[in-house]
């Protein structure tokens, strides 16, 4: 079954002081690293969502083989960005309900290829429709959801985030233990970047 990944890349990078997803990491940019990991893990279509203030990410994403959604204005939060990506996938790919998509924030660049492949493999062996990787009991990224959840996330109120959706659908969630602490790594500050580099 076809798989997608939505990579929200519209953050303001205020704590970093410069566009963090364009920073070099392991011989390429952060955004290219995230795209490559998703592709190498088996995702069929990686969709990157960028806003006008980070247009420098567009050629990087395209060069890495991602599909690109360029917004006409900035979004208010990550959930709104993800909604734009899901709407674009619905219009351009018309996924079946059994299709899956991974939420892979661009500022979580340290998860391993094996995490992606483990998530995709797990979806075929469980009744659960949401799979969240965990390391030492802590939830991380990326998260896999069946396409059936796209409509519910797009219907969230403006003050509701994706975590609230996951809490409301706790019976659909499978926590998948993985051996990769990279699922917990968030790139927000210069100190985070120094540790990653």
Structural tokens at position 139: 């939830």
Write out the chain's pLDDT in tens, 197 residues. Answer: 899 999 998 876 556 656 788 888 988 999 999 999 999 999 999 999 998 888 889 999 999 999 999 988 887 788 889 999 999 999 999 999 889 999 999 999 999 999 999 999 999 989 999 999 999 999 999 999 999 999 999 998 878 889 999 999 999 999 999 999 999 999 888 888 888 87
Considering its fold, how many domains does the chain have in total?
A: 1
pTM for the complete prediction? 0.94
Looking at residue 191, which CATH number applies to its domain? 3.90.550.10
Query: What torsion do the CA atoms of 90, 117, 36, 45 make, to the nearest 10 degrees?
Result: -20
CA separation for the pair 85, 87 (Å, rounded): 5
3-state helix, strand, coil in the chain (%, to 5): 40, 20, 35
What distance separates the 2 farthest-apart alpha carbons in the chain? 43
Show the domain range for 130: 3-196
Instruction: Extract the runs of DSSP E, i.e. beta strands, from 83-157.
Output: 100-103, 130-135, 138-139, 143-146
């Amino acid at each position: 079954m076809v798989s997608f990944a939505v990579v929200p890349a519209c953050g303001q990078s205020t704590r970093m002081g410069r566009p963090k997803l364009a920073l070099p990491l392991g011989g390429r940019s952060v955004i290219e690293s995230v795209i490559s990991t998703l592709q190498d893990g088996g995702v069929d279509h990686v969709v990157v969502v960028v806003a006008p203030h980070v247009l420098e990410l567009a050629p990087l994403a395209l060069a890495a083989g991602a599909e690109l959604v360029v917004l006409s204005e900035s979004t208010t939060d990550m959930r709104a960005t993800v909604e734009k990506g899901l709407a674009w996938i619905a219009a351009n790919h018309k996924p079946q309900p059994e299709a899956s998509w991974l939420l892979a924030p661009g500022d979580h660049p340290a998860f391993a290829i094996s995490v992606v492949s483990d998530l995709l493999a797990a979806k075929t062996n469980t009744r659960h429709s949401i799979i969240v990787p965990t390391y030492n009991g802590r939830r991380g990224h990326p998260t896999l959801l069946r396409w059936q959840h796209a409509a519910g996330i797009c219907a969230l109120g403006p003050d509701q985030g994706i975590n609230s959706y996951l809490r409301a659908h706790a019976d659909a969630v499978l926590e998948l233990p993985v051996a990769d602490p990279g699922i917990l790594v968030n790139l927000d500050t210069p100190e985070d970047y120094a540790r990653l580099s």
